[in-house]
Structure 1
Amino acid sequence: MSYRDNMSAGALSAWDRLTAQYGDLRVNSAYRDPEHNRRVGGAKQSQHMHGNAFDVDVSGMPQDARLALINDARAAGFSGIGVYDNALHFDVGPERAWGADYTRNSLPDWAASAFGGPAPTGGALQGNAMVDTGAMQPEPGQNALAQMQQQRMMQDRLQQNSRIDPRAFMASTGRAPKLSFT
């Protein structure tokens, strides 16, 4: 059985966009039936049970490469992002982000900048561009068209500015990333 089995079209589309840039990423978990989800302690309404989520092994990957992967996953269409010690969760469910205790409060500081939080200090992202998505959020009361245009602009900025440093990717994974020139 392939990890792609039972996945939603939206999740596969986002996954294919992400892996077109990164090559194969090591998947820890994708679709889970309710029984399997219960056994592994998954959330009662887990996006894994709907075929909407992938958990990716990032053990050994430096924080700047993880941040670039998060930004690229968001640009590829993933809207739910979970950040754990050795894994990242990407899903196409509602837009949200969380850390180890499944709340936004536990999102690591280094990852917060991908979601409009404060940027890490101390040069943690040397050599990688950062985008402050918080400044790109639609203002309350904007009409739907203006909101869509602003969201598209944010996605375009993420796409342009959140490329991974190939040297960091090779150092963390032992293989070269797939590069595309658009």
Structure 2
Amino acid sequence: MNRREFIVGVSSTALIAGTAEAKSGFYTGYPHQITDWTAQHFTAREFASKGNGYVSVSREMIAALDRVRAAVGHSIHITSGYRDPAHNARVGGVKHSRHLLSDAVDINLRGLSSPQRHALTWHLLAEGFSSFGTYSRHGFMHADMRPHARIWHVGTGTHPAWFRQALSDWGWQRDHGATRTPRIRITRT
């Protein structure tokens, strides 16, 4: 059973009951039911569907976001994590949204400077996020961990300069993503 079949075809009760997949690679349940949450900088509630309140998110993604948060040194405001199918349909999400597959987040960029946005994107790339969407009118960025890299922009113009620079720093290539050979090094002090 693939991840999509798992999320779409299994009831919340079955998820809570503890299938092997639910226990291994995903945090699943309502926020108060998730007792093994390990993130230091985020809560399960931040990733809950705005529809039914359920959480189903990749442990790998949460660990990566936690490392990104520690690296950038400022809060990261998650506006959307997991979406249940009904909520995804209500907000106009695509049929096979990565939010349904538990490996995507939308991040509010308002209040962040261009250098902070660049650093955030740079560290997301460093932690294995492969696909990004920027939304100029709404002030947020989508990031996910799909296997095949993709970028898109919604709004006027093109991707912002800070975004293009972060991709360039990582040698990002269409359909391949980051080549993992950054042209610059960020040194932590």
Identify if the C-alpha distance between structure 1 residues 11 and 60 changes in structure 2 by more than 3 Å, giving closer, same or farther. Answer: same
Q: Is the 8 A contact 2:125 2:170 kept in 1?
A: no
More helix as a share of residues: 1
Distance in 1 between residues matched to 2:161 and 2:110, nearest whole Å: 18
Shift of 1:23: 4.8
- Name the amino acid aligned to 1:133: G
Aligned pair partner of 1:112 in 155, 164, 168: 164
> SS of the residue aligned with 1:46?
coil
What is the match of residue 70 of structure 2?
Answer: 20
Aligned pair partner of 1:3 in 40, 43, 46: 46
- Name the amino acid aligned to 2:111: G
- State the identity %: 31
What is the match of residue 121 of structure 1?
Answer: none
Aligned pair partner of 1:47 in 70, 95, 98: 98
Distance in 2 between residues matched to 1:72 and 1:27, nearest whole Å: 16
Is 1:98 matched with 2:155? no
More strand as a share of residues: 2
Moved runs in structure 1, 4+ residues, more than 4 A? none
Distance in 2 between residues matched to 1:132 and 1:151, nearest whole Å: 6
Question: Structure 1 stretches of 5 or more lacking a match?
Answer: 117-130, 138-146, 164-179
Matches within 5 A, 1:71-82: 71-82=122-133
Matches within 5 A, 1:1-182: 1=31, 2-4=45-47, 5-21=55-71, 22-85=73-136, 86-93=139-146, 94-100=148-154, 106-116=158-168, 131=169, 133=171, 151-152=179-180, 154=181, 160-161=185-186
What is the match of residue 127 of structure 1?
Answer: none
Query: Relative contact order (C-alpha < 8 Å, sep 6+): which is higher?
Result: 1
Q: Is the 8 A contact 1:97 1:107 kept in 2?
A: no
Count of residue pairs the alignment pairs up: 131
Q: Is the 8 A contact 1:81 1:96 kept in 2?
A: yes
The normalised TM-score by structure 2 is: 0.59
Q: Is the 8 A contact 1:99 1:108 kept in 2?
A: no
Distance in 2 between residues matched to 1:19 and 1:36, nearest whole Å: 27
